[in-house]
Structure 1
Amino acid sequence: MHQLVGRLNSLDPQASETLRIVSYFDVLLTRGAGLDGLLRGAAVLSGTVAGAELRGRTTRRDPEGHLHSGAADEPLRSVRRSGDAWTVWLEREGEPGPNDEMIVERLALGVELIEARRRPEGGFDGVIDAERPLSERVTLLAERRLEPATPVRILATLADTAETGRPSAIVPTRYGLLRATLDVSGNLTPPEPVGLGTWVRADRAPESWDAAIVALRLTDAATPVVDATDLGAMLLLAQAYDPRDPHDDVRALAALDQRAAEVLRTLVEADSIRSAAADLGMHHSTVQARHDSLTHTLGYDPRTNTGRMRYIAAALLLRLADPIPPSGSGTA
């Protein structure tokens, strides 16, 4: 994430700041931070007092982490979000800061997740939790009038995606917070981007959720919906891969500049180096030289059968590390 933010900072400072905020809150939540931790984080990022009213109790923190007693002045709640039995806000005189909306959005998602965790053991997130015993998952399915053999699939969307009216939950993953939604009809169309999990028996829902996460990571501006079923055997490779420890082939692709990456992709897809040159609008000898250079850089010839397989696998795995812009970030 730090590398991605660094790359984006040179292209779009506001986009990199948005990703930094998302990453900050995701780390807090995956480490089990409570309400005070979230408020401290929101106050530090915004440089002003952050507050929350949860089940009738108000808590406020300043950027130094100190508690503020008493009720906040209503006019100072420049940006706020509310849910069932909770409200969060930032207190700032005048116009909101450039990142206030995103900070409050992630703070609200955090509070929603905390509330989901404290509810009785009947949350939808339990249905897709592979760590839970099968007997518990079957019980949770029964509460939703679903038989273990009922065909279902799980959809993965960004955490701040609006609910669809179907059972859903915000779930911490190794890629940060995502929203999981149950689909039993095949006709559910949540806001894009969306990763569609594989169809499975309801008692195997965690498998569909795992596939949906991978599919979501493979979406982009040109392909905002990815169905994990379409990945075939490549899904097994993607599920086994940990982007935090990239393979050497993936590192090599990530190090290429945009033009080199375009030349490489064309060399892999073209019938010959001459046809690749025509597609690229370059001289044949120039493309031949680029091919030789790329072969040396990658450690394999991308035009052989084995080389093509290595390139395709590495390109797929590299996309798992690409950031998915939060809603409203303005990035693609």
Structure 2
Amino acid sequence: MRTATSALRQARLARPMARRMFSSSPSRLDRYGFIGLGQMGFQMAKNLQSKLTPTDTVRVFDINAAAVQQLKGELASTGAVVESVSTVAEAAKEATVTDFETKDYVVTVLPEPVHVKGVYKEIVAAGLSPATATPSKKPIFVDCSTIDPSTSRTVAATVAEAGGVFVDAPMSGGVVGATAGTLTFMLGCPASAVPAVEPLLMHMGRRVLLCGEQGAGLAAKLANNYLLAINNIGAAEAMNLGVQWGLDPKVLANVINVSTGKCWPSEVNNPVPGVVPTAPANRDYAGGFGIALMKKDLKLAIEAANEAGARLALAESAQNLYETAAQDEACKGRDFSVVYRYLGGKE
């Protein structure tokens, strides 16, 4: 049985030809659609625009018109032309990929499964149909939202029935990674789509990992974020335990980070102020990965586990902690490492 790694390797072998075909004639205007300018999408759209050429066009839509205007005000002086549009359908207008060899895409970065369903229902209703899609002209859509695999597969089936191609490409790296253009994208798609999708995503990130067929990218993302949710609580509890016994938090963090307890929340996003200068804990837990987003991702992971029949022994306790902490006035709207404060940690 061919693994996802071998599939990606084969896809990459074909990449030089795909990249040559990406160089279109000077008279052709490449087109991109971008839907969703939340904290992640806003920064991703900026990176995409700045790394394209003035012959490219990006149609941008968000329900928040102020976010669109703010984006236009912060765009690089060079890069693609950006057009603000008033509907989802306009953002997706004329977005096609010819044999996965041209550069016309629609990227979506949306908050919840219901939004993904609604947006793609509108796109399909606006004219994406088998009548307009031929073997050499297939619309391609890259969804970077974090949703459940089942919803993604349902949307993908709807898009495929209408004659398009749908790729799930959730990302890891948070707002910091989105701003710096260092995101990791986890793909769920046929290996044949990778040569078309990877160059697009590399404008916004640093790594593209093929995880398997449709839904596999989201399964990987939710598994990763479930582990992150647990590690974050464990790091906060461990730091609180040591500090309460009089340990200097920097000394304790150093011990953990050269020992078996080392993890991303202990090393990079340490929850104790003063330990890691760049961590949100040093900014009153501002910025970073919001606790409400972690609560959402944990909920999705639990739903996916229940559907797959995978037992999560720590899920209920973690979910209760994030839900109550997210409602606490001292923690609301802050980075998810603020659970250290919720647990009564010394600051």
TM-score, normalised to structure 1's length? 0.30
TM-score, normalised to structure 2's length? 0.29
